[in-house]
Amino acid sequence: MLKKITALTLIIITLLLNACVSQPEPAVPPTTPPPETTSAPTTAPSTAATTPPPTEPPTISTEPYPEATLIENFEYTVNDDGVTITKYIGKGIADIVIPAEIEGKSVTGIGTHGFWDIKENDNYIIKSVIIPDSVIYIGPFSFALNTSLESINIPQNITKIPYSAFSYCSSLTSITIPDGVIEIDETAFVHCVSLKNITIPESVIFIEDGAFYGCNSIPEETRKKILVINGKAFDYWEEFHYH
């Protein structure tokens, strides 16, 4: 009886062991790597300006302009008394010689603003001017703001240096006021900072306020002579303006 039980027990144990050995292992899902994802490159928004680049300012020719004496370079009016130069329209670096005669008539005047440089026309640089003695009148601001003007003559028949005629001609170093000039108007030579040699004839009896304001290079002896005529000739003139 004991043998039967033992034999039966062995059979059961054997069956249990076989069942454990033959039982398949649970399937493990494959561990494939996830597909690579590629993101589209992001483009930063353009910061480039959509407006066109600024226009370059006009440049002045650095070439000498020998044709500065030609009549075609001047605008002028003709009347019974003669010709008045109203505007210079040349170009480049100019040594100007104003003609004594145009269309058979004498050039007698230079109009207001005739040669002044207001940066609206950047075609020229005036280095020197020769004015004929036929000219008896120079208008206000006629040569103002020509900072490159180095030499100019005043005709013998001029009697008045007008308002701001040579103001801010900062390269002008010398000028002779001819005998016969009676009056030098307000701000006539204002800020001619390089003006060192200026001849004031005995004919000058009126020098208006501020005529030489900013002319700090004029020597002391000449300054004293000017101040005798008007003690305010070198003072700031509050009403100074361009018009």
Predicted pLDDT at 15: 52
- What CATH architecture applies to the domain 66-229? Alpha-Beta Horseshoe (3.80)
Predicted pLDDT at 13: 55
Q: What is the pLDDT of residues 37-49, one digit of tens each?
A: 444 444 444 444 4
pLDDT at 201 over 90: yes
Closest CA to 222 of 204, 240, 239: 204
Task: Pick 209 or 12 by higher pLDDT.
Answer: 209
Predicted pLDDT at 90: 82
DSSP 114: S
Predicted pLDDT at 78: 94
Chain mean pLDDT for the chain? 79
pTM score of the predicted model: 0.70
Give 209's contacts (C-beta < 8 A, 6+ positions apart).
186, 230, 232, 233, 235, 237
CA 91 to chain centre: 17
**Across residues 151-173, what is the average pLDDT?**
96
Predicted pLDDT at 203: 97
d(CA 174, CA 30): 103
Residue 120 in tokens: 């609206």
Tell me the DSSP string of 55-97: PPPPPPP-SB-GGGGSGGGEEEEEETTEEEEEEE---EEEEEE
**Across residues 50-79, what is the average pLDDT?**
60
Percent of the chain whose pLDDT exceeds 70: 66
pLDDT at 176 over 50: yes
**Across residues 131-141, what is the average pLDDT?**
96
pLDDT at 110 over 50: yes
Out of 30-44, 58-72, 84-98, pick the least confident: 30-44
Predicted pLDDT at 177: 96
Q: How far is the first Cα of the chain from the last one, in angstroms, to the nearest whole number?
A: 145
In the chain, what are the domain boundaries?
66-229
Could you tell me the pLDDT band of residue 2, with boundaries at 50, 70 and 90? Answer: very low
